[in-house]
Chains A and B, each alone.
Chain A
């Protein structure tokens, strides 16, 4: 019988994972001005569900589920507000956003590095992009990524390998490679 999981402490979850929640919300497209609302809602949910955590998935994976849901809710509310203002039809949830938008990094940030990253990420499918960002930006393990994306570890590895290859090719084509003669990169 596995040893019982020690109960999570809210303070500890906040301290260790606030940055992860914040960044995840940002690259899921939450505008800077709404991040506090989103982070607050995520941690309110965390507090409510704290006793439900059973340790079957990592805390990061568990949190990621909340972030995705809260971001989708916020986006739905935001779109409803927007469509009321413009009289335009409403789009559906996070998936609709992901299928029509590359990543929001460039729209949120102005640095050259982020603009470049955004441009190459835009060329990946939503699944590969998410896998790539979780692995490279959040340094999540393949098992954790599999948990949050409901995919097995082999699928995660396959997606990640494909994402890395595609993104490297696109990046080098668009911005050059400093390791080759004539590369335009820094």
Chain B
């Protein structure tokens, strides 16, 4: 095949360089793919992952169990306290059953809803 003119060869070289992506372009698209949910990490061998979990130090496992047990105990304590309190509130004769200060009207919970002295006076004029 005939040889291309030198200028054309140069132009092709320039085109190849100028049309090529930069490292930033490459990294940006990679990032976008990762954000779109593509598994872009180095391929992980499943067996290796399972081995890694199996080889985790026993100390770490013990810590996880201890923390889980502590969390359950705290949650149980809080639930027990709340249950006891609510039971005391509904049982006749128990402290808190009468609840003399229980809100009965909007004015009692929203101070601004109670008519002020001036408003009451104005209402009287009407």
B6 in the interface, Cβ–Cβ < 8 Å?
yes
Contact A36:B5 (CB < 8 A) given known A22-B21, A105-B15, A111-B18: no
Which residues of chain B are near A22, meaning CB under 8 Å?
19-21, 25
Distance between A110 CB and nearest chain B CB, rounded to angstroms: 9
User: Among the listed stretches A39-47, A92-100, A122-130, which one makes contact with chain B, having 4 or more residues with CB under 8 Å of it?
Assistant: A39-47
Q: Does A117 lie within 8 Å of B11, measured CB to CB?
A: yes
Closest to A119 in B: B11
- Please report whether the interface of chain A is mostly helix, strand, loop or mixed according to DSSP: helix
A90 in the interface, Cβ–Cβ < 8 Å?
no
B39 in the interface, Cβ–Cβ < 8 Å?
yes
Most buried by B among A40, A44, A178: A40
Which residues of chain A are near B11, meaning CB under 8 Å?
113-114, 116-117
Distance between A119 CB and nearest chain B CB, rounded to angstroms: 10
B5 is contacted by which of A40, A47, A171 (Cβ under 8 Å)?
Answer: A171
Bound CA span A171–B6, Å: 10
Bound CA span A158–B13, Å: 23
Q: Does B1 lie within 8 Å of A164, measured CB to CB?
A: yes
Size category of the binding interface on chain B: 20 to 34
Distance between B10 CB and nearest chain A CB, rounded to angstroms: 6
Q: Does B6 lie within 8 Å of A185, measured CB to CB?
A: yes
Q: Does B19 lie within 8 Å of A167, measured CB to CB?
A: no
Which residues of chain A are near B13, meaning CB under 8 Å?
113
Distance between B38 CB and nearest chain A CB, rounded to angstroms: 5
Distance between A6 CB and nearest chain B CB, rounded to angstroms: 12
Q: Does A19 lie within 8 Å of B1, measured CB to CB?
A: no
Which residues of chain B are near A105, meaning CB under 8 Å?
15, 19
Q: Does A18 lie within 8 Å of B38, measured CB to CB?
A: no
Distance between B8 CB and nearest chain A CB, rounded to angstroms: 5
User: Chain B, 52-81, contact with A by CB distance < 8 Å: what is the 0/1 string?
Assistant: 000000000000000000000000000000
Q: A10-B38, A167-B4, A178-B5 are in contact. List 9 more A-B contacts (CB 8 A).
A: A10-B39, A23-B19, A36-B28, A39-B29, A40-B29, A113-B11, A114-B14, A168-B4, A171-B4
Could you list which residues of chain A lie within 8 angstroms of chain B, going by C-beta atoms? 9-11, 14, 18-19, 22-23, 26-27, 35-36, 39-40, 43-44, 47, 105, 109, 111, 113-114, 116-117, 120, 136-137, 160-161, 164-165, 167-168, 171-172, 175-179, 185-186
The 4 closest A-B pairs by CB, nearest first: A113-B14, A113-B11, A185-B7, A117-B11
